[in-house]
Chain A
Amino acid sequence: MTLTEKILARAAGKASVKAGDNIWVKTDVLMTHDVCGPGTIGVFKREFGKNAKVWDRERVVIIPDHYIFTADSLSNRNVDILRDFAREQNLPYFYDVIDDANGTWKFDTTKGLLQRQYGSNYAGVCHAALPQKGHTRPGEILFGTDSHTCMAGAFNQFATGIGNTDAGFVMGTGKLLIKVPETMRFRLEGRLQPGVMAKDIILHVIGEIGFDGATYRAMQFDGPGIASLSMDDRMTIANMAIEAGGKNAMFPFDARTAEYVEARTKLNGTRSHYEPVETDADQNFVYETVIDLDKLEPTVACHPDPGQRKKARELASVKLDRAYVGSCTGGKTSDFIEFAQILRGKKVVIDTFGVPASPEIVQDLQRTKWGGETIWNILVTAGVRMTENAGCSACLGGPVDTFGRMNQPGLKCISATNRNFPGRMGHKESQVFLASPATVAASALAGSIADPRDYLGN
């Protein structure tokens, strides 16, 4: 069996499963957020009764992160709906925006968009928060009401996005009927060269198989090239399986996975027992390819879909209005480090926005110093508008007052985020080019799409 099949078989209580089987699986964690949580709760109450209890309060994780730092009153209300539910159900893992469990959330526009406006429990973008807060464990099943839930495949777990109705069902029963996906195998060999990042691997892969090349399928990344990839790198890759239509992404378990998961479950006091799945000698793949990491170059997905692959150096004629670093896939500490290495001591020439994925990442950037200066200040000095209000922000547009949102037609933005269909970051006539944080940095300096390898070594 493939890694995905092994996890699903175990969760279904079966000795083996094969692609195409419809099986009921037990859920280890159900995650929801402010955009889909209120609707999920609505379905749960409608179907199981207004006094119903969730199937296991320790396994429901609620992370407001999408439309938080906005004056939009319905968005603020949605956070309050989550809080009421968490209190009613006595949920231990609700990462509220505010510290008062009986309060209401209201964004204060007078403080502006840059200054921190959250309490001590807020966790930021759900997919970054899940591992940081100790909710990702190898061998487990994670369902989330968000398509980028597949990011947790980096941790050798089966993780996939579901809708509100399915999530309402899981909330009441802890189970879900799913089809076992066929597995595609991407065997990574070699090592990334300077200026080339994990983002370039996944943009290359999506370009190779197409925007729907993995529809209904699992994407398994393995091979000797995995060892050199950090957990952040693996998350970047797994996050974007959905951009090729994939059901889930899957990485093998190794010492790095163990180190991360053990540190995080211990730090947060979450369940620490887990059972990874190991690779079988006998696996059935619907597709197999080898990717030589040494040969990859900085890669861009052009407007209007993630499969429009080009090399950064082929796109120097594309003039840009904006640059953006942030989101689950591109707003991690390691992303900002790469971003800052290129921007350090220079000035951006276009509007450039930085949105860390989580409060912990904000802290990392504000505490880590290079030559006496914090990474945060290096970026601010380079002209980047950095916000402390970690969250999804303009990655998916959001309400019109969202930080970094593209509100005019015709704007072109190079972005370290994960999706670039028309209107993704705001106005439906704006354009998004997806790239690594290094390519975004080089492009912010050039004002047009640029190859970061021309900006290394300062």
Chain B
Amino acid sequence: MQAIFTGPVYVVRDNIDTDQIISAKYLNLVPTITEEYEKLGSYAMDGLPDALYPERFVKPGAMDTEFPIIIAGRNFGCGSSREHAPIALGAADCQAVVAESFARIFFRNCVATGEVYPVECTERLCEIFRTGDRAVVDIDAGTITLERTGKAYSLKPLGEVRPVVEAGGIFQYARKVGMMPDKV
């Protein structure tokens, strides 16, 4: 299946830690409870300081984001191991995070949950793209295109991670390829 995501991007800088992705005060919500999963989405990126990020990722009162793509600098998702972080992004209908680099546990949690594609870029796109710019991410072509200029920037291949995210996480993947028995 193709994985192409189109829409406005939300641009953040380096070191966006898991507290900024989902504030610790919302960790009382349990992601496997459906209504709490949805609530986590409404709080996605709520921890970003208002002064630095006056445009909010999820508008006040909304449950989902208008930005299917996040563009970030280095070390996106650093800090805690809370799986609430990729889950909040996925629950808000974010589909891909394009970053210069990812923190290890966040990257792994994106893959394990299948909530969002964590894709590394090869240039400092957070200096080139602006929040609200429309872009096209083509996972298989390995490009992100800035519609404003028509210029395409290359993305690093996801390799074995891609089919796992596409399946919806490690359990779904393991069942799909026969590593685990189907649920009874």
Contact = CB atoms under 8 A, between A and B. Distances in A.
B81 A145 contact: yes
A147 B79 contact: yes
A397 B25 contact: yes
A42 interface: yes
Contacts of A43: 32, 171
A212 B75 contact: yes
A84 interface: no
Interface string A10-44: 00000000000000000000000001101101110
B23 A165 contact: no
B141 interface: no
A225 interface: no
Interface in B68-127: 74-75, 78-84, 101, 103-105, 108-109, 112-113
Contacts of B25: 397-400
B181 to A, nearest CB: 10
B20 interface: yes
B33 interface: yes
Contacts of B49: 422-423, 428-429
A166 interface: yes
Given A146-B80, A212-B75, A163 B112 contact: yes
A146 B83 CA distance: 10
B27 interface: yes
Nearest to A397: B24
A111 B109 CA distance: 39
**How large, as a class, is the contact surface on chain B?**
35 or more
Nearest to B110: A163
A166 B108 contact: yes
A146 B170 CA distance: 20
Contact of A49 (B74, B83, B184): B184
B31 A169 contact: no
B101 A428 contact: no
A180 to B, nearest CB: 13
A280 to B, nearest CB: 25
A166 B20 contact: no
A258 interface: no
B47 interface: yes
A245 B79 CA distance: 8
B177 interface: no
Contact of A423 (B19, B31, B75, B108): B19
Interface in B1-49: 15, 17, 19-20, 23-25, 27-33, 47-49
B47 A399 contact: no
A147 B109 CA distance: 12
Interface in A52-84: 66-67, 72, 74-75, 78, 81
A428 B50 contact: yes
Interface in A182-238: 211-212, 215-216
B51 interface: yes
A422 B108 contact: no
B103 A163 contact: no
Main secondary structure of the interface of A (DSSP, over half): loop
A301 to B, nearest CB: 12
Given A47-B183, A245-B104, A422-B49, A75 B81 contact: no
B19 A305 contact: no
B133 to A, nearest CB: 24
A358 interface: no
Given A396-B19, A397-B19, A163 B109 contact: yes
B81 A36 contact: yes
Contacts of B80: 146-147, 161, 396, 419
A93 interface: no
A424 interface: yes
A164 interface: yes
A402 B171 CA distance: 36
Given A163-B108, A215-B104, A38 B30 contact: yes
A240 to B, nearest CB: 12
Contact of B20 (A145, A399, A422): A422
A215 to B, nearest CB: 6
Contacts of B101: 212, 215
Contacts of A78: 28, 30
A400 B49 CA distance: 17
Contacts of B170: 165-166, 169
Contacts of A146: 80-81
A39 B82 CA distance: 10
A211 to B, nearest CB: 6
B29 A163 contact: no
Interface string A119-160: 000000000000000000000000011110100000000000
A162 B82 CA distance: 8
A155 B29 CA distance: 33
A396 B24 contact: yes
Interface string A273-310: 00000000000000000000000000000001100000
7 contacts: A78-B30, A147-B80, A147-B105, A161-B105, A163-B112, A165-B170, A422-B49
Given A164-B32, A304-B15, 15 more contacts: A36-B81, A144-B81, A147-B80, A147-B105, A163-B82, A163-B113, A165-B113, A165-B171, A166-B109, A245-B78, A419-B80, A421-B15, A422-B19, A422-B49, A424-B19
Q: Top 10 closest A-B pairs, CB basis?
A: A42-B32, A163-B83, A161-B81, A421-B17, A163-B109, A74-B28, A165-B112, A164-B83, A147-B81, A212-B75
